[in-house]
Amino acid sequence: MLVINIYESYKLTLKQLFNIVVGHPKEFIHPGACELLQDLICHILKTLNLYNLKPQSKIRSGVGYPKATIIHRKLKRVLLNTEEVKTLLENNGYFVEVKSFDDITIAEQIRIVRTSALLVGKNAMDDIPNYNLCIILIGIHGAGLANLIWLNVNFNPAVIEIFPFNFTKYTYQTLALSLRVNYVGVKTTKESNSKETEFSNDYKEADKRNYYRNLDTKVDLEDLQLALNALPKEHKMYLNQPIS
């Protein structure tokens, strides 16, 4: 309850700064707004005693696998091929957690994003100086991706945003770049990879943009692989590296 109360006391200011930062193209944002948002995020994390949480890796056969978190939505804008995405990420050297943020506390959300909920073996951070363990957050466009603000930028994190067919919006790209988080967007180019739902059909006749926005989506794995390939080397440099 204390954590919730602390967060709620900052929530309005956080939302106001969030809207300032993402309300315009990044090149038109005053750098002071980004700095204020960064400072407020750090202050909240320190007040909640969550600032020093570090990403952790799963150790298997002497090799470290940085964590990738897939944000799973239960009701709308659902990722239809989550298991295929999970397998692809594992093949790229991550260990993967699929998490829903729909019914957990803000403290739990921060812990999931800030660090690993699963640790097998030992924490590589304790054994290798300056081990820049990377983490990655993946999800369909939606409010769950706002949790990227809790990523630890000292460890070269990344966000991959999946857009439904015929829909793009640059809110989270602007937010990520403002906070020095690597970002790649994946557009769904095949309408056959979309599925209508009761939520999308509410807008089908009157509001086509929101109709497409609320489709469930199957991400094209080749496009997702291209997105992973596009991440900078600073993010990927410790994938599949031996840990002694």
How many whole angstroms separate alpha carbon 203 and alpha carbon 205?
6
Which residues in the chain land under pLDDT 50? 1-3, 116-133, 243-244
Domains along the chain? 64-239 (3.40.50)
pLDDT digits (tens, 9 = 90+) for 172-201: 888 888 888 889 999 999 999 999 999 999
Using CA atoms, how far residue 175 sits from 8, 13, 87, 200, 237, in Å, is 21, 16, 28, 26, 24
- What confidence score (pLDDT) does residue 244 get? 44
Check: CB of residue 125 under 8 Å from CB of residue 131.
yes
- What confidence score (pLDDT) does residue 237 get? 60
